Chain A
């Protein structure tokens, strides 16, 4: 059944793509991304419980349509344009200058596409054992809210979606989670809400101070406020801190991370996949969009602290992951380590670091999403996630083990797979601007190999113990569900250029903005002797530049563009 469903979905996808490619400029794409899943949720709510077979189908269809919209946007995206595209700007609460302002640039585009791809996979890949109606309904609400977060260009609108995400996730963990679900769900909700409390005060203060300095009416428009940079340095630093608390909880950064292992472990499989792939990116995306863009000076000022927390996350997450007895908890801690890399790259303030961060944001979503899916399938088969109780699975399920190996290697960051380009670029970028942080972070790569390979060895190698003899091989349907992720793991590992092409203009615009606003800021960039893997034909390096080292390129526009052919 799922096979036919997939077929019909791909047909819809294909026709949608063809349709949208022609009229993409005037069709309200971003509202469609948000409204389509909501319509799905409403339909699910209206279907009586006697037709419970329809819930999953409707959820899958609407999420695939939404995913198709996001891919259509990827296709229609103008790679030359560094600004926001598909912009919609309508007043919402006009007396306070709050508007329904949406738009995508190279930074948010891939997170939207990731959301559009992961949701159908999570829906198809995970089973639900009770109450399908609210389960699929909440997942659709979650999808709409996630799309809204990544495409909002108004502070209040962003905040509203940022908070709204909590509600469906809370119910997903609390109703369909594992043994300790209520504790995990409540902790997740309150932690994030506490962070947001500071952010709300911060964003209102920002808008009020901005309006006062500009002498105009109050506005919460991100683009407008980022352009003005009207508030004082001290105020900017305070407000940045208020934002940073909210994002640090969401990332999560080291001292505020304790909700993550609980939430990820207790969530149902679809919840864990979405948490890891989409939800975790809210914090790092927030740091880029609302930290660097709104507060370039304060972000630069806070960079050493943030990078230190990022590096602590890398090492701490890896060490904790090594210690875990529960496979799902291990993957959860590995996320902390990966997210540490992203934060390091964002606050390294270099083109490579930032590009690498965005690459990791997407690729971590793909690999960790796939890992959670696989761990979920192990749990479905064996009803345990304890590493000690699993053994020798490779002998009974070789294909399963093969898929697991590929995903695991991608998570480790093996060259040729998608985990590598991002981590490499982040390390490169941080070596250029913050060498010692980079040095410590490199050890995280080795630790990642340690905990994942060791876990693999214990679970898949060794003698086949009695309860593991009946371990079922990967089903065809499961294979089909995970195949898009496996394809992306290999494709984006070998050929990240399509992504970099779209990310680079926006990253350069962002850093030029930082450069213009921060006194004494010096854009450091590494020039390559040899081209990056996967960038062979990108012409990223110039033949004449053979010196690997620091080049001050921030001063001139030429410095930014010289990498282009």
Chain B
């Protein structure tokens, strides 16, 4: 497929494109993105026209249906990509390949889970409204744009759509001061990170003469740059931007505060959907575009990010006393694990990262579903002590949470084990034994954190008083989300064959645009 790259020079292509006027747009190729975006805008319109007469479950169902439609729309596209190979549409700005479709699928799944959790959450908190869902859909559409972008500017636009909606979602809990604080913190730091990314894009443009990834790739393979300081600075700045979005150390400091402060369903979306979109951008820019030519230059940087994320994520997690903060740090260490697969810079590594992201989506949305339920009115009871005795008070919830925690720890026959296994496999295939050992040892350290929660739920002598008194309600949406997450976690762990084949076929490709 790579061979399809047009043989003429970048300058010529630029000239022909400029002459051809408005590029043709193949709408079907961006159907999932359109469905998400239009679904969001229509929802806003419909709810505004109904003026509060719509039933409270309406926006949630609408969102789930929209995201499911987007998910269904992926299948014909997938078949097309597998038959005809990857394509580029919209004048080379958007790529259509197995990779973008896989990540789109993860983001849609994450939206479905987020909407299912929001349904009961907003009712419990007395914060009903369609804005949550509109923002969720728009943010997802930004994520999909990011995953399929073949141009750095388009990718940046996608990132901004994704992030701005997420900033607002974080601050949406108007009754909790910590939610507002988290929103502001996320916004200020996120704006910094975006600026870094944009600066990196500018420097890369300066070094290569293009923002189109295909042309950048071709330029770098055709040309030997004698002074590559500009390009390397571009790498570093872009890594800061992406590192922030995926929550990799040392750009992780926002994560614990924001994860803790944000409404729990939003945190679930943040840890799965936003992370997937961030990794999609990172993989496409670094592994696919810069991988073949400048791998030796950026891989050490990613190596350092991976090691720092693994160590900081797992060691800081075990000293936390708040479950949401624990999961935030564990999310940092998971990001480190996926960065290990990025560092491998191979198709195998990309497949491993995709499998991991899908598995992590199930595990983390499931975990935050429990956290959402356990937060109770006010979304405030997240201390580890609030989970004491859950195994006795609500054995079902405790068992399901245990499945997610053990899966995150990497216990076999769950999604977590195989995703770790694939990552280790991809990195060992590149001869990076030390990195593999660091990753596995930090996974053991992280396991201690998950055990601490299990200990609190099952082994504590004095159960939390109000846990025994208060009736914990499990809303319908949350229970559906839990079922999806449990089934996904175990299914990927026991019969992963189908998904691994899809992940292997979901190759990221850069194909030049042909008008």
Chain A contacts to B: CB under 8 angstroms: 91-96, 156, 159-161, 163-164, 166-167, 170-171, 174-175, 181-182, 185-186, 189-190, 193-194, 197-198, 200-201, 204-205, 208
Q: Which of B430-458 contact A (CB under 8 A)?
A: 433, 436-437, 440-441, 443-444, 447-448, 451, 454-455, 458
Q: Mark B410-444, 1 if CB is under 8 A from A, else 0.
A: 11110001101110110011000100110011011
Measured CB to CB, the closest approach of chain B to A271, in angstroms, equals: 14
Residue among A91, A194, A198, A201 with most chain B CB within 10 A: A201
How far is B500's CA from A186's CA once the two chains are assembled, in angstroms?
A: 33
Contact in complex: A159, B412 (CB < 8 Å): yes
**In the complex the two chains form, is B428's CB within 8 Å of A204's CB?**
yes
Q: A174-B455, A175-B458 are in contact. Are A156 and B429 (CB under 8 A)?
A: no
Whether B412 pairs with A181 at a CB distance below 8 angstroms is: no
**Leading 4 A-B pairs by shortest Cβ distance:** A160-B412, A197-B440, A201-B436, A204-B428
- Distance A94 CA – B500 CA, assembled complex (angstroms): 9
Minimum CB distance partner of A195 in chain B = B444
**Cβ B421 vs Cβ A204 within 8 A:** yes
User: A95 CA to B355 CA in the complex, in Å?
Assistant: 14
Kindly report which residue of chain A lies nearest to residue B501, judged by CB atoms.
A95
**Residues of chain B contacted by A208 (CB below 8 angstroms):** 425, 428-429
User: Closest Cβ of chain B: how far from A163's Cβ, in Å?
Assistant: 5
- Does A201 lie within 8 Å of B428, measured CB to CB? yes
CA distance A68 to B173 in the complex (A): 60
Report yes or no: A201 in contact with B459, Cβ–Cβ below 8 A.
no
Q: Is the CB of B424 within 8 A of A182?
A: no
- Contact indicator B425/A204 (Cβ below 8 Å): yes
Residue numbers in A under 8 Å from B424 (CB-CB): 200-201, 204
Query: Would you call A190 and B448 a contact (CB within 8 A)?
Result: yes
**Can you list 17 A-B pairs with a CB-CB distance of less than 8 A?**
A93-B496, A95-B497, A156-B421, A160-B412, A160-B413, A163-B410, A163-B411, A164-B411, A164-B412, A166-B411, A175-B458, A186-B448, A190-B444, A193-B409, A193-B444, A204-B436, A205-B436
Smallest distance from the beta carbon of A432 to chain B beta carbons, Å? 37
Please give, as numbers and ranges, the residues of chain A lying within 8 Å of B500 by CB-CB distance.
Answer: 93, 95-96
Contact flag A197-B451 (CB < 8 Å), given A93-B497, A175-B458: no
Q: Is the interface of B mostly helix, strand, loop or mixed?
A: helix
Whose C-beta in chain A lies nearest to the C-beta of B409? A193
**Set of chain B residues within 8 Å of A93, measured between Cβ atoms:** 418, 496-497, 500
- Pair B458/A171 contact, Cβ less than 8 Å: yes
Nearest Cβ distance between residue B407 and chain A, in whole angstroms?
A: 11
Contact A194:B406 (CB < 8 A) given known A92-B497, A186-B455: no
Say which residue of A160, A182, A197, A204 sits within 8 Å of B443 (CB atoms): A197
| Contact (Cβ within 8 A) A174 B458 | yes
Whether B412 lies near A182 (C-beta < 8 A) is no
Interfacial chain B residues near A171, Cβ < 8 Å: 458
Partner of B440, one of A156, A175, A185, A200: A200
B504 contacts chain A at the CB level, 8 A cutoff: yes
Q: Which of A186, A194, A197 has the most CB of B within 10 A?
A: A197
**Alpha-carbon separation in the docked complex, A27 to B444 (Å):** 39
List residues of chain B with CB within 8 A of the CB of A186.
448, 451, 455
- Which one of A96, A174, A189 lies within 8 Å of B447 (CB-CB)? A189
CB of A95 within 8 A of CB of B428, answer: no
Within B490-508, which residues are at the interface with A (CB < 8 Å)? 496-497, 500-501, 504
Give the distance in Å from the alpha carbon of A189 to the alpha carbon of B496 in the complex.
26
A241 CB to closest chain B CB (Å) equals 11
Determine the distance from Cα of A171 to Cα of B411 in the docked complex, in whole angstroms.
14
Contact (A198, B433) CB under 8 Å given A174-B458, A208-B425: no
Could you tell me the distance between the alpha carbons of A335 and B144 in the complex, rounded to whole angstroms?
58
Sample of 4 more A-B contacts, CB < 8 Å, known A175-B458, A190-B448? A94-B497, A95-B497, A95-B500, A159-B412
The chain B residue with its CB closest to the CB of A238 is: B433
- Chain B residues with CB under 8 Å of A96's CB are 422, 425, 500
Residue of B with least CB distance to A96 = B425
Closest to B455 in A: A182
Q: Please, how many angstroms separate the alpha-carbon atoms of A95 and B418 in the complex?
A: 13
User: Is B421 in contact with A175, judged by CB distance below 8 angstroms?
Assistant: no
* Smallest CB separation, A507 vs chain B (Å): 30
CB-CB nearest in chain B for A92: B497
| Residues of A contacting B497 in the complex (Cβ-Cβ under 8 angstroms) | 91-95
Residues of B within 8 A of A193 (CB): 409, 444, 447
Residues of B within 8 A of A200 (CB): 420-421, 424, 440
Q: Would A201 and B433 count as touching, CB distance under 8 A? A: yes
**Assuming the A-B contacts A94-B497, A194-B444, A201-B436, are A182 and B459 also in contact, with contact meaning beta carbons closer than 8 angstroms in the complex?**
yes
* A164 with B413: CB separation less than 8 A: yes
Do A205 and B433 contact each other (CB < 8 Å), given the known contacts A182-B455, A200-B440? yes
Q: Are B411 and A181 in contact (CB under 8 A)?
A: no
